[in-house]
Amino acid sequence: MDTTTKQYLREFIYSMIAYVLTLIPSILLVNYFSDYPLNANIIVVALAPVVPVGFMIFFFLKYLSKIDELQQRIQLLAIGFAAGTTSMLAFSYGFLENIGFPPISLMWVFPVMVMLWGIGLAFISRRYK
């Protein structure tokens, strides 16, 4: 593993730890104050886990700019697969909601996209080995 990848993984792990350490208190506080009127403080608490995710995205873009062209191509194809498949799934489920399926929270879009990105990355990487 090269130094660029090691640095990215270290930054990603730190961001993920910050995410978990932010997410748990955020959920607990939002649930605790759910009976109170909505105000700016609870909005900030609810959005707090987004900050470490922003750092994850920043570190990924930094990593992406440092890797070679072949790795960039592989990442682009995997991200394209993830974005297209996630869009198709969301679009399809929107039609199913029209016939009575229960609504799904938008919070699931990002994890589904990341999961599909990983699947796409595994398959596309194999093509270049």
pLDDT of amino acid 102: 97
Mind listing the pLDDT tens digit for each residue in 47-64? 999 999 999 999 999 999
Q: For residue 6, tell me if it sits in a domain.
A: yes
What average pLDDT is seen over the chain?
A: 95
Burial class (CB in 10 A: 0-12, 13-18, 19+), 82: buried
Residue 129 has a pLDDT of 81
Q: What is the DSSP letter of 120?
A: H
Q: Does residue 118 fall inside a structural domain?
A: yes
Residue 63: inside a domain, yes or no?
Answer: no
Instruction: Return left, alpha or beta for 100; rule: phi > 0 is left, psi -120 to 50 is alpha, else beta.
Output: left
Residues 124 and 72 both lie in one domain: yes
In the chain, which stretches have pLDDT less than 70? none
Q: Considering only CA atoms, which of 123, 46, 52, 53 is closest in space to residue 85?
A: 123
Q: Are 46 and 97 found together in one domain? A: no
Q: Is the pTM of this model over 0.85?
A: no
Kindly state whether residue 58 falls inside one of the protein's structural domains: no
Question: Domain check: are 80 and 48 in the same one?
Answer: no
Domain assignment of residue 14, given as a range: 1-52
Whether 59 is covered by a domain: the verdict is no
Residue 62: inside a domain? no
